[in-house]
Amino acid sequence: MYQPMLLGHEQSVTALIDQKAFPSHWHSEIELLYCLSGELQAVVSGVSYPLTPGSLLVIGSAEEHSFPEGQKGARLLLVEMGFSFLGSEFSALAALRFTEPLLSPCQPDSPAAPLLPLLEDLLEWHGKPGPQAIWTCKSILFSLASELFQLPHDIDLPKIRKKRLETQLRCQAVFEYIRMHYRRSLPLEEVANAIGYEKSNFCKLFKRATQTSFHKYLNAYRIGIACRLLESGEGSMKSIGEQVGIPEPKSFSRIFRQVMGVTPTEYRERMTRYE
């Protein structure tokens, strides 16, 4: 039914993507999709919305969404923000049910009009290197988050979203612990103890929150970091494995392949080729 997304480890995500079909899924992060070109049908909480250039889709926290098959696709600015970027105050935003998910920021009378300059600024600064660009993007993202409260909403969150959020909240400590300690060996028991859970309860909680196991999540997190290191072009395979807590080269290669479908060497070659 849905495919989990492993985003708990990211502070925030801003990306330009060419979006085609994607199966139904949810995550605690709030998601904005700003359509730049093309056309795309999106399904949010069972309702279909047509994305066209200039339109903005706002997907609430823990809200199910998908993009049906057989579409040409669209170029989108994607923004995701959750607890790790917005802090504990995010729960106030996560509790909103947006009653008009599809908006037109370019129309001056739209409730989303104040978002337009922020989206335009984000398009300009996104992906640029250097501290100034990074801080400018963060500044824009915090302004965006603050503006989201002004969009049409009510606060009667469906029961299932409430439950998902409760579980996610309890798991934030786990994500933070992984973020702090992924560089070294990290036994499940240690993490469970650190947040005050017994092993078996911990496994149940984690599965409910992420729809995956602790080990799969940890592997995916480590390989995500490894990908960025590989893209930067620096460091040997051995050193990259060590930096993400998988010091044994054979294990690193095997786990990388499990997660990414290609070996680390192939991945690096592809990334270099497309540059």
- Regarding beta strands 12-19 and 97-98, do their DSSP bridges make them parallel or antiparallel, or are they unpaired? unpaired
- Regarding beta strands 12-19 and 73-81, do their DSSP bridges make them parallel or antiparallel, or are they unpaired? antiparallel
Strands (E), the chain: 12-19, 22-25, 30-44, 47-51, 56-59, 65-67, 73-81, 97-98, 102-103, 153-154
Q: According to the binding rule CB under 8 A, does residue 139 interact with its own copies? A: yes
Q: How many residues bind its own copies (CB under 8 A)?
A: 24
Q: Which is nearer to its own copies, 143 or 263 (CB)?
A: 143
Q: According to the binding rule CB under 8 A, does residue 62 interact with its own copies? A: no
Q: According to the binding rule CB under 8 A, does residue 258 interact with its own copies? A: no
Q: According to the binding rule CB under 8 A, does residue 151 interact with its own copies? A: no
Q: Which is nearer to its own copies, 124 or 269 (CB)?
A: 124
Q: Calculate ∠ Cα 189-193-195, nearest 5°.
A: 125
| Alpha-carbon span 112 to 243, nearest angstrom | 43
Residue 51: CB minimum distance to its own copies, A = 26
Report residue 42 as tokens.
Answer: 């999106």
| Alpha-carbon span 79 to 119, nearest angstrom | 10
Q: Which is nearer to its own copies, 17 or 225 (CB)?
A: 225
In the set 135, 190, 233, 272, which binds its own copies (CB under 8 A)? 135
Q: Which is nearer to its own copies, 132 or 239 (CB)?
A: 132
Nearest Cα to Cα of residue 81 among 17, 122, 31, 135:
31
Q: According to the binding rule CB under 8 A, does residue 86 interact with its own copies? A: yes
| Binding region for its own copies (CB under 8 A) out of 32-40, 131-139, 154-162, 263-271 | 131-139
**Backbone dihedral region of 46: left (phi > 0), alpha (psi from -120 to 50 degrees) or beta?**
left
Contact pattern for its own copies over residues 207 through 246, marking x by CB under 8 A? ----------------------------------------
In the set 71, 143, 243, 253, which binds its own copies (CB under 8 A)? 143
CB 104 within 8 A of CB 54: yes
Residues in contact with its own copies by CB under 8 A are 86-87, 89-90, 92-93, 130-132, 134-136, 138-143, 145-146, 149, 176-177, 180
